[in-house]
Amino acid sequence: MSGPVFFFLSFTAIFILASWALYLPYRMGQLHFLVIPNMVISAYFGALVSGAAVSGAQGAAHWPFFAVLLGAVILSALIGFLVSLCIGDAPCFSVAIVGLTFMFLVRTIAENTPFLGRTLGMYGVPRIIDSTQGNRLFLVILIYLILLLVGFLVYRFDRSPLGRAASCIFADRDMALSLGINIKTMGMLLQTASSAMGGLAGVLYLYVTRSISPAFITFQNLGLFVTMLFVGGYTTQWGILLVTPILWGIPLIMPEALQGWKNVFYALILIVILMVRPEGVITRPALRKILPWISTSVWRKR
């Protein structure tokens, strides 16, 4: 597997995971930007315990990959849970501000901490499999298996009573309260799950790039995930699945002279979608029309 194909496939799946992590809390109207700091925290945790190099010196710890993965997810979920104790029922703007604050906080700490490599970060994360091709193939298969599992869990949530309760909160908080829905408990659940998904994406990103630095914490990456969420459609998980390969792939085939303009490209797409189709490309009413048509077409072919 060539390098460009490996990175495209891996980053596409990781960005879908990160965008789904934003999607979950937004089901009840909360923009949980803590996803980005949790990705970085879990990646640094993975780098520390896997034996990554800092300033040329290789780390002493050598945890196996699956132990790193599990530890990072638990750590991220714990961070998300503790923060959600304070903002579980907070409005969208407050939750977004807390996430942005954590972004600056985590970046500042990473840039000024020697054992985290300061601005250079940590690098030389050991491969899971010694051979380059074997490691790439293993990672791609594993990442997409994880994507399928997480996608199935999100799908089940959307169609569960919890998903319907989240939709009710999004539509009208007062109505949700009158129906006996505990907004804070729902917020804590979704923010904790979102943080765990962010941690999962962060560890996978670490093993794909074999490095992590504070440079990952940028408004560019945050804007990329937000664009995938709102362009794809914030009412269903399928829009993210559809638009992420397109949004991530188009800038890669742009002429070199236009590469520096990709953020403008994302911004223009987001603005146009919000003006023309505020709910995104794929909406629930659209799915209700498309799915019966697909089923009918498949049945006729049989």
Taking only the tens place, the pLDDT of each residue in 10-63 is 999 999 999 999 999 999 999 999 999 999 999 999 999 988 877 666 666 788
Strand 57-58 with 211-212, pairing: unpaired
Q: If pLDDT is split at 50, 70 and 90, which confidence band does 259 have? A: confident
Q: What is the pLDDT of residue 279?
A: 85
Q: How confident is the model at residue 254 (pLDDT cuts 50, 70, 90)?
A: confident
What are the residues whose beta carbons fall under 8 Å from the beta carbon of 19, sequence distance 6 or more? 225, 228, 229, 232, 240, 244
Cα–Cα distances in angstroms (integers) from residue 157 to residues 21, 125, 148, 236, in the given order:
13, 35, 14, 11
Please say whether the beta carbons of 242 and 282 come within 8 A.
Answer: yes
Q: What are phi and psi of 217, to 5 degrees?
A: -85, 85
Report the C-alpha gap between 216 and 244 in whole angstroms. 18
Using DSSP's 3-state secondary structure scheme, residue 174 falls into: helix
Residue 297: pLDDT over 50: no
DSSP helix/strand/coil, 123: strand
Q: Fill in the amino acid letter for 254.
A: M
Residue 210 DSSP label: T
* Mean predicted lDDT score pLDDT of the chain: 88
Q: How far is the CA of 204 from the CAs of 60, 66, 84, 170, 173, in angstroms?
A: 21, 11, 24, 31, 36
The backbone region for 61, taken as left when phi is positive above 0, alpha when psi lies in -120 to 50, beta otherwise, is beta
What confidence score (pLDDT) does residue 121 get? 87
Q: What is the rounded CA–CA span in Å between residue 104 and residue 258?
A: 29
d(CA 14, CA 33): 16
pLDDT score recorded for residue 276: 87
**DSSP letter assigned to residue 128:** S
DSSP 278: T
What is the C-alpha separation between 26 and 280, in angstroms, rounded? 14
CB 150 within 8 A of CB 198: no
Q: What is the DSSP letter of 223?
A: H
- Average pLDDT in the 178-197 region? 94
Q: How far apart are CA 30 and CA 17, in angstroms?
A: 17
Measure the CA–CA gap between 9 and 259, rounded to whole angstroms. Answer: 20
Q: By C-alpha distance, which of 252, 268, 283 is closest to 9?
A: 252
- For tokens 């994360």, the residue is 125
